[in-house]
């Protein structure tokens, strides 16, 4: 029975973080029109990374992927939804792998260690996104959506800039949020040993 209780808590937290991913993208964004397409500065990635730090790669990745995909489906980014699901899931898996499988972040460590691992794991997930988002976007637009190569190339270049800015914001904000939430969640008995 205790395992089922833990799974329900984790599912509830994943649902909450998916909702925060949705809100971070759908409501806290600045759209940048680029020809027939759009790109955006947004806060959705902050919560994708935070979800993986709090819940681990699998649950955190799913929370980020589901929340951000729903945000795409309910805004002008509907054609990007499949790409978003894949990339956000990968962000979560990478952050979770680095934070919890390699450095065992959920165990007891010094504040300095926790801070360093939090920033490193966040940076690894977002570094993947800075490379993968424009690259996958280029092929996705060109081969699946039929956007001409020169336009796909220009969109990928612009996407690199916005993705880079989003990555820096995500690493900083997710790290600050995680470091603030960790002691509170431990005290409340809601912190997961991953």
Is 193 contained in some domain?
no
pLDDT computed for residue 2 by the predictor? 62
Is 43 contained in some domain?
yes
**Do 54 and 15 meet the contact criterion of CB atoms below 8 Å apart?**
no
pLDDT computed for residue 162 by the predictor? 93
Q: Name the H helices within 32-110.
A: 44-55, 57-73, 81-96
Number of structural domains, the chain?
A: 1
For residues 178 and 158, give the distance between their C-alpha atoms in angstroms, rounded to a whole number: 30
Output the domain CATH number for residue 52: 1.10.1760.20
Is 86 contained in some domain?
yes
Q: What are phi and psi of 40, to 5 degrees?
A: -155, 145
Is 113 contained in some domain?
yes
Q: What is the pLDDT of residues 71-117, one digit of tens each?
A: 999 998 999 999 999 999 999 999 999 999 999 998 999 999 999 99
Q: Which domain holds residue 87?
A: 2-188
Is 194 contained in some domain?
no
Dig out the tokens for 16 from the structure: 């909450």
- For residue 31, give the DSSP letter: E
Regions in the chain scoring below 70 on pLDDT: 1-6, 36
Question: In this structure, how many other beta carbons lie within 10 angstroms of the beta carbon of residue 150?
Answer: 9
Q: How far is CA 17 from the centre of its chain?
A: 10
Is 91 contained in some domain?
yes
For residues 101-119, one letter each, b for 16 or more C-beta atoms within 10 angstroms of the residue's C-beta and e for the rest, the string is eebebbeeeeeeebeebbb
pLDDT computed for residue 3 by the predictor? 64
**100 to 11, 108, 114, 190: CA distances (angstroms):** 18, 12, 11, 17
């Amino acid at each position: 029975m205790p395992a089922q209780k833990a799974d329900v808590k984790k599912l509830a937290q994943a649902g909450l973080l998916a909702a925060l991913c949705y809100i971070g993208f759908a409501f806290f964004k600045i759209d940048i029109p680029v020809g027939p397409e759009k790109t955006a500065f947004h806060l959705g990635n902050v919560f994708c990374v935070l979800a993986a730090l709090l819940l681990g790669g699998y649950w955190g990745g799913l929370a980020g992927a589901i929340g951000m995909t729903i945000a795409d489906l309910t805004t002008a980014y509907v054609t990007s939804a499949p790409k978003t699901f894949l990339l956000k899931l990968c962000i979560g898996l990478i952050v979770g792998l680095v934070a919890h499988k390699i450095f065992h972040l959920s165990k007891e460590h010094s504040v300095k260690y926790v801070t360093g691992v939090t920033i490193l794991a966040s940076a690894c997930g977002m570094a993947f996104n800075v490379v993968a988002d424009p690259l996958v976007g280029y092929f996705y637009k060109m081969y699946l959506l039929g956007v001409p190569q020169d336009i796909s190339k220009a969109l990928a270049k612009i996407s690199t800039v916005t993705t880079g800015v989003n990555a820096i914001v995500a690493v900083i904000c997710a790290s600050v949020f995680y470091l603030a939430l960790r002691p509170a969640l431990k005290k409340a008995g809601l912190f997961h040993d991953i």
